[in-house]
Amino acid sequence: MAGSTRIIRYVLFAFFGIIILFFITSSSSIPKPPIPDSSIFKGAKGNKNHNDPSSGHTSPSSASSGEQRLVDERPAPGSAAPAAAPASNVTMGAVPATGRLNATFVTLARNSDLWDIADSIRQVEDRFNRNYHYDWVFLNDREFDDDFKKVTTALVSGKTHYGTIAKEHWSFPDFIDQDKAKAVREDMAERKIIYGDSISYRHMCRFESGFFFRQPLMQNYEWYWRVEPSVKLYCDIGFDPFRVMAENKKKYSFVISLYEYAETIPTIWDSAKKFMKQYPEHIAEGNSMKWLSDDNGESYNHCHFWSNFEVGNLNWLRSDAYIDFFETLDRDGGFFYERWGDAPVHSIAAGLLLKKEEIQFFDDIAYWHVPFTHCPTSEKKRLENKCACNPKDNFDWKGYSCTTRWFDMMGMEKPAGYQDQKD
Ligand SMILES: Nc1nc2c(ncn2[C@@H]2O[C@H](COP(=O)(O)OP(=O)(O)O)[C@@H](O)[C@H]2O)c(=O)[nH]1
Ligand SMILES: [Mg+2]
């Protein structure tokens, strides 16, 4: 009797031993990827999700193809290497302890922009995304062709998505007087105002101001990083800007700021003032009015963040506050009766609707879009991050930049050596 009990015990031990051995070997075959270091920016955690993107101003039809994706465990296409930052704990609104955030790159482009955007993607991948494998959403007012999709999918280390913009997001609203709009374009052409005679540029600016964040494909994400064709990144980005934003409760960011051409926005501030009067509840306490205006809101000083680079929060753009702002401006017609750019629109919104601390200046992201450069002033930073920019080209402290004003308003200390880069 005792003998057979012993045999049964041996058999059970052997059985469980084999099972344990199986689990150990199979889990150790999954490589443990390194988690990129973002400790330099550690801040407050627990960003609350104030806005459900599927509610409010998001039309049900536009949300239809975008089922909420809370977890992204898909492997990066065309990549044998494991994702450096697995997104197994990605949730809407919360900041996951490790791994990717619920974020995507986003690019508006034409098929003819293929090789210029290919260049930008390579910059972003080489300096950052090859370690993270974030997705990339491409948007176009026409359908993307196979060539565009094939090349960009091969270059992006995350998943790629391609969306065609609905007509109503890329056309004249019916309240626009076509004759008046045409006369403006002819006048601006004569005055040689850049893009002054262009219809498509105006649709582009209106789309980037009011619609990109409401596209079905964008409904899946909480954070975006805008990338334009032919931009450059000059330094390694050894941290995750999305994480920096989320952990520090940031909503909008910039690397370059400057004065807008006054001729393109003569009445934008009138519309902004109308909005402030109509919606005082949307105006943030501790906002950046001092950066936007030199006379306490009476007039606009034309300072704006250069929006061809943006890392931002999509839920903020989808909030009632931002939508009410966009719609107030849109009804006044300045996208067509003038030539309002999305940069001053986003900037005035960020300046009024957000607390100034919710706007992030990314000194560590060295960037070029024709014709301006942001190159970190600190040599230590440039050497540590393998930067390839000439510090003399840094635009931050030059007379046409608004970044000095930003530092002054924020009470931020300017980096050593900034005086040498003033001209
Ligand atoms: N699909 C599409 N994208 C456009 C059009 N016009 C401009 N874009 C995109 O909109 C962004 C801004 O245009 P860009 O020509 O770079 O303007 P700039 O930076 O102000 O000189 C870029 O990402 C362009 O690829 C257009 O007519 N159709
Ligand atoms: Mg551009």
pLDDT at position 2 over 60: no
The answer for residues whose C-beta is within 8 angstroms of residue 67's C-beta and 6 or more apart is 220
Bond preceding residue 33 cis, omega within 30 of 0: no
276 phi/psi in degrees, rounded to 5: -60, -35
Cβ–Cβ < 8 Å for 110, 162: no
Active-site residue list: 310
Q: Is the CB of residue 209 below 6 angstroms from any atom belonging to ligand 1? A: no
- What DSSP character marks residue 191? T
- Taking the CA atoms of residue 21, residue 23, residue 25 and residue 28 in that order, the dihedral angle to the nearest 10 degrees is -140
pTM listed for this prediction: 0.81
* Ligand 1 nearest-atom number relative to CA 141: 1
Q: Is the CB of residue 141 below 6 angstroms from any atom belonging to ligand 1? A: yes
Cβ–Cβ < 8 Å for 350, 332: no
pLDDT, tens digit, 9 for 90 and up, residues 240-289 = 999 999 999 999 999 999 999 999 999 999 999 999 999 999 999 999 99
Cβ–Cβ < 8 Å for 268, 329: yes
Cβ–Cβ < 8 Å for 272, 348: yes
What's the pLDDT band for 87 if we cut at 50, 70, 90?
very low
Tokens of 134: 């974030």
pLDDT, tens digit, 9 for 90 and up, residues 91-115 = 456 799 999 999 999 999 999 999 9
Q: Tell me the CA–centroid distance for residue 17 and ligand 2, in Å.
A: 62
Round to whole Å and give the CA distance between 375 and 372.
Answer: 10
Question: Quick one: pLDDT at residue 146?
Answer: 98
Q: Tell me the CA–centroid distance for residue 228 and ligand 2, in Å.
A: 6
The answer for residues whose C-beta is within 8 angstroms of residue 180's C-beta and 6 or more apart is 337
Pocket test for ligand 1, best of 142, 144, 152, 228 (most atoms within 8 A of CB): 228
Residues with Cβ within 5 Å of ion ligand 2?
Answer: 228, 308
The answer for residues whose C-beta is within 8 angstroms of residue 340's C-beta and 6 or more apart is 205, 209, 264, 265, 268, 329, 334
